[in-house]
């Protein structure tokens, strides 16, 4: 079943390029499509895919300390 996940998190990001590369790898690994905006002020994303893939994405996002308290909307 295809679902959409929305989220944002205002948090200082020192290395936005590292976050961009990590997000690209994470989305490709989980077969997700969408748009993720990354800046030194935080992250804003809309991604879609299979429910199990989205759950795996959220689990990995919460393991990264700056994003551990991110609220996700399904």
Q: 5-28 pLDDT, tens per residue? A: 999 999 999 999 999 999 999 999
How far is the C-alpha of 44 from the C-alpha of 67, rounded, in Å?
11
Domain locations in the chain as residue ranges: 2-69
The reply to whether the predicted model has a pTM over 0.75 is: yes
Task: With CA atoms as reference, report the closest residue to 66 among 32, 26, 21, 16.
Answer: 16
How far is the C-alpha of 48 from the C-alpha of 37, rounded, in Å?
15
The pLDDT value recorded for residue 13 is 97
Summarised one tens digit per residue, pLDDT across range 24-70 is 999 999 999 999 999 999 999 999 999 999 999 999 999 999 999 99
The pLDDT value recorded for residue 8 is 98
CATH entry, 2-69, from 3.40.50.300, 3.30.70.100, 3.40.190.10, 3.90.79.10: 3.30.70.100
The pLDDT value recorded for residue 1 is 82
């Amino acid at each position: 079943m295809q679902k959409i996940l929305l989220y944002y998190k205002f948090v200082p990001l020192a290395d936005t390029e590292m976050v961009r590369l990590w997000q690209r790898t994470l989305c490709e690994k989980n077969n997700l499509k969408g748009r993720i905006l990354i800046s030194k002020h935080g992250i804003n994303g809309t991604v879609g895919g299979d429910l199990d893939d989205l759950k795996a994405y959220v689990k990995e996002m919460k393991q990264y300390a700056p994003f551990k308290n991110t609220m996700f909307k399904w």
